[in-house]
Structures are given as structure tokens and as C-alpha cells.
Structure 1
């Protein structure tokens, strides 16, 4: 697991207040929504706003790529590393 993936796992846990899970328990390639981590659309909105603030990302609410970006920790890490403006 790379550092950004681990950072994002901790970030998701803290942002969404997921108290019963540790970063090590999240599979980087598992789905974030429904199956896998089990997040929902409200979680997606909260996470999107938090990612914009933390990393300076520009995330459009209607972007077709969002479902791909938010499909797993791996895809989210790739998107953050390619588009972040804040370290």
C-alpha cells in the first residue's frame, strides 16, 4: 500500500467518522460504495467537499468521471495525485 492510499483511508475514516474500522482493514481495490466499504450518496458528497478542501481538487457534481474516481481507494489516490493543488 502506498502512502497516499493509507492517507486517504485515514482521511475517509476521520471525515465520515467511521469508528469501527481501521485503515488496514480497508482493501485498496474494494468498492467504496454499496459493497466493500458500504458508503452511500451522502457520504460521497461529504467526502467530495472534504477532498476539495484538503487537496485543492476541482470536483464537479455532475462529472461522468466521478463514479470511476470514487470507485476504490486506488482510483481515488490516482485522481488525487494527478489533480491536487495542495500538498
Structure 2
């Protein structure tokens, strides 16, 4: 799972053009929104599209479920890993 978390961190940095951040700067369990990394809804859309392109995952139209998946890098990795098994 650590490899997947690193891949997602790199994808996040590349997709959102975060030039001043490295993968090491992002804690796996840190919030991606608000007080954490500070992402916003536009960032979520861009990241969601990048995840769909890279891993072929489909995000749920249920906003609450999507918020859970986007809570942290660890949550995203768990979602992607689970979606890959389907």
C-alpha cells in the first residue's frame, strides 16, 4: 500500500501543479482539504479526473462517500486498491 500512497501523492502534485510540495511533505493521514493540504473543490475535481485516468476508478455521485475517499492520501489509496479488485 505504501507504493500506491506514494504514487497518489506524486499524481496529486503533478495534477495540481504543486511546485513547492514534495511527496515527503504530505502525510498519509493528513487531511487534504481545510487545515491539511488546503485543497478546494476545483482541486478535488482535477484530482478525481487524474485518478480516473491513471487507475480507471469511478467516483460515486454520492457526495458524502466521495468526501470520505478524499479525506487523506491513505483514504484515497484504500479506495483505489478496493476499486482495482472489483
Q: TM-score scaled by structure 2?
A: 0.91
Higher helix share: 2
Q: Secondary structure at the match of 2:64?
A: coil
Q: Which runs of 4+ in 1 moved over 6 A?
A: none
Aligned length: 85
User: Is residue 2:45 matched to residue 1:45?
Assistant: yes
Over residues 9-61 of structure 1, what are the superposed CA-to-partner deviations in whole Å (9 max), with x where a residue is unaligned? Answer: 01100000000000001011000011111100000011111111111111134
* Partner Cα separation in structure 2 for residue 39 and residue 63 of structure 1: 16
Q: Secondary structure at the match of 2:29?
A: coil
* Partner Cα separation in structure 1 for residue 75 and residue 13 of structure 2: 17
Partner of 1:11: 11
Q: Which runs of 5+ in 2 are unaligned?
A: none
User: Is residue 2:72 matched to residue 1:72?
Assistant: yes
Q: Which runs of 5+ in 1 are unaligned?
A: none
* Partner Cα separation in structure 2 for residue 12 and residue 31 of structure 1: 13
What CA RMSD, in Å, does the superposition of the two structures yield over aligned residues?
A: 1.5
Q: TM-score scaled by structure 1?
A: 0.90
